[in-house]
Chains A and B, each alone.
Chain A
């Protein structure tokens, strides 16, 4: 039967059961609690799998303790869930392999990421941990944009890249910290050399 020929039926809209939206509760490592919609959670592959595995009902969500996310603090998690709520229902992007990667930062995301680099670092870390593909894309794009027009020396300051000498010194320090006796032996050896001894033993 075509749509045009179908009988017209009066529908009492109030009688149609409205599916109740479910909001999950999450807790950051500094004990801040967040309520996040089921649809928003789908942006995070990690959280989505977690809530699917838990199989919570609406009652469970209210009565059971909030799901703890122990690696992320409240300030960062707030940004993450704000982003997820804004982008809920959007398709998860797939990397098309273009070089360089083509990523547009929407206005909302740009405002959300108008934060200091310490918090941006935590946001990227959280997006990676929670496997939120598009949040990782836009936040990494923001960091990549910092490189535009920079000289190597400037890049070293922007990205805190140690020089080869600093890397070498850090490596030596790490080795010495691992084996304090090695330094003592080295100092003893140098002292004996100064005293004119040919043999260490």
Chain B
């Protein structure tokens, strides 16, 4: 018996200090017809469903029937956390003590504490795999923008995501001084449909190819190391209709301080005029345009180019609907 529970504690990251409340007389959940079973599962919140999924293979297989389309996961590698539906959070923390977990229902946070080991960096990936197996839903957002010690972790988590799902990410946010080949791998293999926000803090990186983000709605490349000539190429492509979903783009680069003589527009033409227009990108995002230079694509779509709104080295493009 003792050995059996020790094994359980090991599997579920519990320890003997976990409070064991008295349980009511048993209820044979899996003997119910399918509809009532689904109704009961619908009443459990995502964290309770996750805990249920850890009971056995059978229970892990039944969680997704509540509605795969309703679930989405957002991974923040720097914070070592995974959000479920942007409301519930699984927070993974390191501890020198035995692994434990606690669910704070009020805060909607599940704290998973693991004991530090050489394989600690895999902990986030392990939990993510368990969540993906239980909810059978895609990761829609990947974020890594801190200076924590997760350097080796982010790429393994990202590879795990791209291997386990066909669906592209909606959002990819990245800010780090990093190994160039890892980021190059990411830019080659990660597909993003909505928002891409990259800040690279090393000049060794040659800068991303903007054409890789053709399907994005929101592009933010602060500290991109891009050359002015790359902007010419981008504007030509946008005018030709090769960025059909784009609503807003911001590119920051030290190179923009330099000579604009070869650019199709003069820098002064794109300065702010004090005329304020708000561009609503989607229900979560909106940006303000304060002037600049209007351009029109071949299909009639209108846009405004603007310089220097936030810093001296940033170029912005606002695409207007109608």
Contact = CB atoms under 8 A, between A and B. Distances in A.
Nearest to B18: A151
Interface in A135-181: 136-137, 139-141, 143-164, 167
A121 B25 contact: no
A196 to B, nearest CB: 36
Nearest to B41: A144
Interface in B98-120: 103, 105
B48 A147 contact: yes
B23 interface: yes
Contact of A140 (B40, B51, B66): B40
B40 A156 contact: no
A71 to B, nearest CB: 12
B252 interface: no
State the main secondary structure of chain A at its contact with B. helix
Contacts of A103: 43
Give the size range of B's interface with the partner.
Answer: 35 or more
Interface in A85-101: 97, 99-101
Contacts of B8: 152-153
A159 to B, nearest CB: 4
Contacts of A153: 5, 8, 12, 14
B39 A159 contact: no
B39 A136 contact: yes
A155 to B, nearest CB: 5
A77 B21 CA distance: 33
Interface stretch (B53-61, B174-182, B215-223): B53-61
Contacts of A148: 48, 105
Nearest to A140: B39
Given A154-B21, A156-B56, A167-B57, A128 B36 contact: yes
A152 B46 contact: no
Interface string A110-126: 00000011001100110
B43 A100 contact: yes
Contacts of A144: 40-41, 43-44, 48
Contacts of B27: 117, 120-121, 143, 146, 158-160
Interface string B65-97: 011001000000000000001000000000000
Nearest to A163: B56
Interface string B8-30: 10001010001011011111111
Given A100-B44, A121-B27, A159-B29, A150 B51 contact: yes
Contacts of B23: 150, 154, 157-158
B31 A121 contact: yes
- Residue picked from B35, B52, B55, B85, most chain A C-beta under 10 Å: B55
A186 to B, nearest CB: 25
B312 interface: no
B2 interface: no
A121 B31 CA distance: 9
A149 to B, nearest CB: 6
A124 B32 CA distance: 8
User: Which of B46, B48, B85 gathers most chain A CB within 10 Å?
Assistant: B48
B193 to A, nearest CB: 23
A129 to B, nearest CB: 8
Contacts of B28: 121, 159-160
10 contacts: A99-B45, A100-B44, A100-B46, A125-B36, A128-B32, A137-B39, A147-B52, A153-B8, A161-B29, A161-B55
Interface of B: 5, 8, 12, 14, 18, 20-21, 23-33, 35-36, 39-46, 48, 51-52, 54-59, 66-67, 70, 85, 103, 105
Q: Which 6 A-B pairs have the closest CB atoms?
A: A144-B43, A159-B29, A140-B39, A101-B42, A117-B27, A152-B54
